[in-house]
């Protein structure tokens, strides 16, 4: 292969795309097409200060999901991003500082639609919505979102190299308040929130007018109040 030339298989796949008359024909034109496209487009380099919550990063040989960020502009020196991440392969957590000059690989995971069926000890059973095949996954793949998983819920499995490494629930769910502090005299909705407990045991902050028995919409990943359920 000459200097600067693409591998023969890559050139063949690219040529197939140009020559195919339709997207479907292009996909069938080369047996390596899908593999090459996944490798080319599944990653992209981003600056450390462009990292955002929910991003999936390849970092120090692992696949990490960004949980929280804090952008800091010190009086001296360049800006940096303090990033809290969780390893999707082994559950480890880390808090890492990225500067604007740092680059990191942002990863796009493959996804598949599944339905949650039931719990079996520490394992959760899901069914593929297309093939109806069932799969068992450890409950810790859901992280802090685990209490919001409901029977029959539609979820997305995130896969890295065809292996499930994360389960994504709907961003918002309905839940009932089972316990709420009394309203303090003079307290208004705009002044402050009060503690409350959901039917799944999760504690959140809600407006003063929300009482026990009220059904509300909750942000699953922030575990925060969104509004009253309609």
**CA angle 138–125–229, rounded 5-degree value:** 95
Q: What would the mean pLDDT of 136-156 be, rounded to a whole number? A: 90
Confidence of residue 206 (pLDDT cuts 50, 70, 90): very high
Task: Find all residues with CB under 8 Å of 131, minimum gap 6, and list them.
Answer: none
Strands 103-107 and 43-47: antiparallel
196 pLDDT more than 50: yes
Q: Of how many residues is the chain composed?
A: 230
Sign of CA dihedral 9, 10, 11, 16: positive
In which order are the strands placed within the sheet that holds 134-138? Answer: 134-138, 123-128, 110-120, 154-160, 163-168
pLDDT in tens, 90-104: 778 899 999 888 999
**pTM exceeding 0.75:** no
Give the mean pLDDT of the chain. Answer: 81
What is the SS3 assignment for 39-80?
HHHCEEEEEHHHCCCCCEEEECCEEEEEEEEEEECCCCCCCE
Q: Is the pLDDT at 11 greater than 60, yes or no?
A: no
Which domains are seen in the chain, by residue range? 8-37 (no CATH), 43-107 (2.30.30.30), 110-168 (2.40.50.140), 172-228 (2.40.50.140)
pLDDT tens column, 41-83: 467 899 988 998 878 899 988 899 888 888 888 777 778 899 9
99-141 per-position pLDDT tens digit: 888 999 998 888 899 999 999 999 999 999 999 999 999 888 7
Please report the pLDDT score of residue 40 as a whole number: 43
Q: How confident is the model at residue 15 (pLDDT cuts 50, 70, 90)?
A: low
> Would you state the pLDDT for residue 23?
47
**What is the distance between the alpha carbons of residues 167 and 164, in angstroms, rounded to a whole number?**
8
How many Å apart are CA 186 and CA 206, to the nearest integer?
Answer: 16
Identify the CA nearest to 67 among candidates 40, 85, 82, 45: 85
The whole-number pLDDT of residue 207 equals 92
Residue 38's nearest CA partner among 59, 12, 63, 10 is 10
Q: What would the two tokens of residue 73 be?
A: 């502009």
Q: Rounded distance, CA 130 to CA 70, Å? A: 40
């Amino acid at each position: 292969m000459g200097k600067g030339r693409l591998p023969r298989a890559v050139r063949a796949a690219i040529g197939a795309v140009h020559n195919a008359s339709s997207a479907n024909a292009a996909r069938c034109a080369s047996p390596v097409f899908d593999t090459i496209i996944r490798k080319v487009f599944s990653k992209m380099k981003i600056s450390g200060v462009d990292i955002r919550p929910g991003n999936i990063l390849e970092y120090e040989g692992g696949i990490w999901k960004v949980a929280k960020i804090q952008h800091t502009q010190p009086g001296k020196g360049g800006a940096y991003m303090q990033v809290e991440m969780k390893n999707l392969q082994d559950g480890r957590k880390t808090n890492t500082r990225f500067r604007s000059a740092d680059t990191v690989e942002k990863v796009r995971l493959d996804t598949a639609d599944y339905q949650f069926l039931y719990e079996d000890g520490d394992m959760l059973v899901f069914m593929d919505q297309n093939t109806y095949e069932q799969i068992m996954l450890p409950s810790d793949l859901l992280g802090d979102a685990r209490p919001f998983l409901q029977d029959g819920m539609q979820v997305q499995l995130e896969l890295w190299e065809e292996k499930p490494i994360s389960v994504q629930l709907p961003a918002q769910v309905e839940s009932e308040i089972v316990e709420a502090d009394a309203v303090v005299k003079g307290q208004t909705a705009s002044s402050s929130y009060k503690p409350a407990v959901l039917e799944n045991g999760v504690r959140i902050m809600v407006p003063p007018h929300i009482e026990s028995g009220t059904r509300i919409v909750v942000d699953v990943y922030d575990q925060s109040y969104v509004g009253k359920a309609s």
